Amino acid sequence: MPTVLITGANRGLGLEFARQYVADGWRVIATCREEKAAPGLADIDGDIGVHQLDITDHASIQALAKSLRKEPIDLLLNNAGVYGPRPVKLGGVDYAAWDDVMHVNTMSPLKVTECFLENVAASDLKKIISITSKMGSIADNEAGGSYIYRSSKAALNAVMKSLSVDLSPRGISVAMLHPGWVRTDMGGPSGLIDAEESVSGMRRVIDGLTLETSGRMLNYDGAEIPW
């Protein structure tokens, strides 16, 4: 039975990932900042454990990693993320908020990966996924604006690309996935697809990920997104 660890699993895409992986017979380690704020996880019937994890707190990450040090993790899914303030207009950038968003979206996934790296290396599948955004693509940016969110995801992509190179000798594949414009709290009610369709697509991409395709930014339908 494969195991997945999901950050930010209490709502949106993270909750849907947890539902689908449990339904498919996986063991799910679901993490969220406050266990009491995760009623949706409590409703999932299957092999799922809910753990408190504040990804902005290095001590919290290290404590959970220590408690799970003997657990192989086939798939490490860095899902937790924030958008930050909006709109962000030139001349009105909240630099303190920018620092917070970079911490959550860029630095925390790397710290989580560092702390659970040996768990992934000890597994059969050896995969690390970070949920990114097409808005982090520099080549695709024709609308401008969104300085905080765009830069945090572009930086995440750079971090994960380097990880794909560094971890290849250990047989670990890494990819960044764009979930599409999804109807979630972050995506809003105008999103083009729902969480079930997005996660189903991303899971197919994850299933097909190999060392040969490691290090890419991919859409939920498998299409490659330019940097």
- Residue 133 annotated among the catalytic residues of the structure: yes
Residue 114 sits at φ, ψ, to 5 deg, of -55, -45
Q: Taking a C-beta distance cutoff of 8 angstroms, is the pair 13, 182 a contact?
A: yes
How far apart CA 82 and CA 144 sit, in angstroms, is: 19
The interaxial angle of helices 195-208 and 12-23, nearest 10 deg, is: 60
Catalytic entry in 130, 133, 152, 214: 133
Please confirm whether the linkage preceding 226 is cis (ω < 30° from 0).
no
Beta strands 216-219 and 3-6 are: unpaired
Which candidate in 149, 152, 214, 220 is catalytic? Answer: 149
**149 among known catalytic residues:** yes
Strand partners, 219: 178
Closest alpha carbon to 129 in 209, 227, 49, 46: 209
Catalytic residues: 133, 149, 153
